[in-house]
Chain A
Amino acid sequence: MICQLCQTFIKQTPSLLQTFGMIRWQPNKLCQACQSEFVSISCACSGCGRQQNNESLCFDCQRWEKQGKILLQHTSLYQYNDAMRDFMQRYKFNGDYSLRQIFNHELIQYVNNMAIDLVVVIPISEYTMMTRGFNQTVGLFEGVTLSDLLKVKAKNKSHQSQFNRKGRMMRTQPFTVSKSLPLHNKRVLLVDDVYTTGNTLYHAADLLYDLGAKNVKSLSLAR
Chain B
Amino acid sequence: MEEYYGRQLVQPKIKNVPAYVSVAATFNNHICQRCGQTDIEKLPNYHFYCRACLALGRVSSRDVLLSLPEPNLFDGHDILSWSGKLTAKQQEVSNELIATLKEKNEHLVWAVTGAGKTEMLFPVIHKALTQRYRVGIVSPRVDVIIELAPRLQAAFSKTDMVVLHGEQTQDYRYTPLVLATTHQMLRFKSAFDLLIVDEVDSFPYAGDKMLSYAVQQAKKATGTLIFLTATPTKQLQKRVRRGSLKTSYLPLRYHQHLLPVIKTTLVGNWRRKIPKQLVKQLTHFQRTEQRFLIFVPKVADLKKVYDQINKHVPHLKGDYVHAADSRRQEKVQAMRDYQLQYLVTTTILERGVTFPGIDVLILGADDTTFSENALVQIAGRVGRKNDRPTGLVRAYVQHISLNVVAAQRQIKQMNHRGKKLGGRK
Contacts and interface: CB of A to CB of B under 8 A. Distances in A.
Interface residues of B, number: 17
B303 interface: no
B62 A97 contact: no
Nearest to B41: A98
A97 B43 contact: yes
B54 interface: yes
Interface in B328-359: none
A122 B15 CA distance: 25
Contact of A96 (B15, B45, B51, B62): B51
A95 B14 contact: no
A130 B43 contact: no
A125 to B, nearest CB: 12
Given A94-B58, A97-B41, A138-B44, A133 B14 contact: no
Interface in B5-63: 12-15, 41-45, 47, 49, 51, 54, 57-58, 60, 62
B255 to A, nearest CB: 42
B13 A130 contact: yes
B49 A94 contact: no
A131 interface: yes
A130 B51 contact: no
Contacts of B43: 97, 133-134
Contacts of A97: 41-43, 49
A124 B62 CA distance: 16
A127 B12 CA distance: 10
Given A97-B49, A133-B49, A127 B14 contact: yes
Contacts of A94: 54, 57-58
B54 A96 contact: yes
A96 B58 contact: yes
B58 A130 contact: no
Interface string B49-82: 1010010011010100000000000000000000
Contacts of A139: 44
A139 B42 CA distance: 11
Contacts of A133: 43-45, 47, 49, 60, 62
Contacts of A138: 44
Contacts of A96: 41, 51, 54, 58
A95 B49 contact: yes
Interface string B345-375: 0000000000000000000000000000000
A151 to B, nearest CB: 16
Contact of B58 (A95, A127, A135): A95
Interface in A133-167: 133-135, 138-139
A139 B57 CA distance: 20
Given A133-B43, A133-B49, A134-B44, A95 B12 contact: no
A155 B45 CA distance: 24
Contacts of B62: 130-131, 133
A98 B45 CA distance: 15
Nearest to A93: B58
Contact of B12 (A98, A131, A134, A135): A131
A97 B44 CA distance: 9
A107 B300 CA distance: 34
Contacts of B58: 94-96
A95 B14 CA distance: 17
Given A95-B60, A96-B58, A97-B42, A131 B14 contact: yes
A214 to B, nearest CB: 31
Nearest to B45: A133
Contacts of B15: 131
Contacts of A131: 12, 14-15, 62
Greatest chain B CB density within 10 A among A94, A95, A98, A138 is at A95
Contacts of B14: 127, 130-131
Contacts of B13: 130
B65 to A, nearest CB: 15
A6 B13 CA distance: 31
Interface string A75-104: 000000000000000000011111000000
B60 to A, nearest CB: 5
B44 A98 contact: no
A133 B63 CA distance: 10
A134 to B, nearest CB: 5
A165 B62 CA distance: 32
Given A95-B60, A133-B43, A133-B62, 10 more contacts: A95-B58, A96-B58, A97-B41, A97-B43, A97-B49, A130-B12, A130-B13, A133-B60, A135-B44, A139-B44
5 contacts: A94-B57, A130-B14, A131-B62, A133-B45, A139-B44
Interface of B: 12-15, 41-45, 47, 49, 51, 54, 57-58, 60, 62
The 8 closest A-B pairs by CB, nearest first: A95-B58, A131-B12, A133-B43, A130-B14, A98-B41, A133-B62, A134-B44, A97-B43
